[in-house]
Amino acid sequence: MSTTTTQPPQPETRADLSRGSLPRYFSPALLAASASVVAGVLLAFSSFGVVLWALLTAVAYLVITVTASVRIEGRRKATDRFVTAIVYGCFLLAMAPLVSVLWTVTLNGMERFSGYFLSVSMNGVLPSMDAGGVYHAIVGTLAITGMATLISVPIGVLTAVFLVEYAEGRLKRAITFFVDVMTGIPSIVAGLFVVALWMMLFGPGHLNGASAAIALAVLMIPVVVRSSEEMLRLVPRELREASYALGVPKWRTITKVVLPTSAAGLTTGIMLAIARVIGETAPLVLTAGSSAVSINWNLFDGQMMSLPVFIYAQVRMGGAVNYERAWAAALTLILVVMLLFFLARMIGRLFAPKTR
């Protein structure tokens, strides 16, 4: 090949340059055409299914595009069109489960989702009775997640302050590395850790809401550290230097300048961390129990139900009514998570630091 680099083969280059190209409307037109033809054929055989339709449309589009492009534009452009179609397909493929989860949860959840469902507990309700709700689970979720937040926010934010403002050398690298590693701890291992801790401190059989909160805090701390660290790094250096120049001590600079400037970002990060742990199930099954039926506000006494565990427990019971309750609770949980995400976005947007 090295001999040809100085003199590229003349005729081929000319052929490449004079090759035609497919019109701009080719792709959308072909996609629409293959989609409608496939739909028509499927309807004619009365075997219409969304998945089958999407699959056949994609295959038809790919085959026709590549053959047409090889004929008219040449092999290289054809490969490019092929990859483009695949890449678009990957994205659509990822959207399928998202849409499907949200759709099935909404559809199935609406059957039982009501003010009644949200406002009563399962106290005195037999598993197969057409009654009961998730009030006790909402209470448990709020209490446990609230306590986990109270534990992990100070530790997480202070660690981020340490990493950004103070730490140097080996300790900084060790903490950064192990915070990363900690994000990968399986949630069930965090639950087992608290089970082991509680067995040593109090003996077996003393699990309660507080132990569940500690398990969630173990999962939440690294997330808070990560997001807070990023936000603190966004604070302009000039702000700190201006404060030092006025003779303000370092700790006052951090508490009065750095933290207020990044407050919106910190809050957003904390909300996202809450949204992440509020759906955790495995550690709660191990710690707060999965059989509580009544309202319990006391974190330090007895089992506590929570929304995710409620879903799991109802599915384990397996009856039709149980599945209905599980879907409705899943809808509740998704609404809570989406609300947190939405609030986080709003806070991040409304209170973003004004650097100019």
Q: Does 32 bind other proteins (CB under 8 A)?
A: no
CA 74 to CA 19: how far, in whole Å? 8
3-state secondary structure 161-201: HHHHHHCCHHHHHHHHHHHHHHHCCCHHHHHHHHHHHHHHH
Q: Does 202 bind other proteins (CB under 8 A)?
A: no
Q: Which residues contact 158 (CB under 8 A, 6 or more apart)?
A: none
CA 160 to CA 51: how far, in whole Å? 46
Q: Does 163 bind other proteins (CB under 8 A)?
A: yes
Judged by CB under 8 A, the chain residues 225 through 244 that form the site for other proteins are 225, 244
Judged by CB under 8 A, the chain residues 132 through 161 that form the site for other proteins are 154-155, 158-159, 161
Contact 188, 145 (CB under 8 A): no
The interface mask with other proteins, positions 61-80, x = CB under 8 A, is ---------------xx-xx
How many Å from the N-terminal Cα to the C-terminal Cα in the chain?
Answer: 57
Residue from 30, 64, 323, 343 that binds other proteins (CB under 8 A)? 323
Structure tokens at 205: 């059989």
Q: Does 175 bind other proteins (CB under 8 A)?
A: yes
Residue from 32, 63, 95, 234 that binds other proteins (CB under 8 A)? 95
Q: How many residues bind other proteins (CB under 8 A)?
A: 96
> Of 38-46, 123-131, 132-140, 327-335, which part binds other proteins (CB under 8 A)?
327-335
Structure tokens at 231: 């936000």
Residue from 182, 239, 257, 335 that binds other proteins (CB under 8 A)? 182
Q: 214: number of CA atoms within 13 Å, CB side?
A: 16
Q: Does 93 bind other proteins (CB under 8 A)?
A: yes
Q: Which residue has the tokens 């991040």?
A: 348
Q: Does 23 bind other proteins (CB under 8 A)?
A: no
Q: Does 327 bind other proteins (CB under 8 A)?
A: yes
Residue from 20, 23, 115, 204 that binds other proteins (CB under 8 A)? 204
> Smallest distance, Å, CB 280 to other proteins?
7
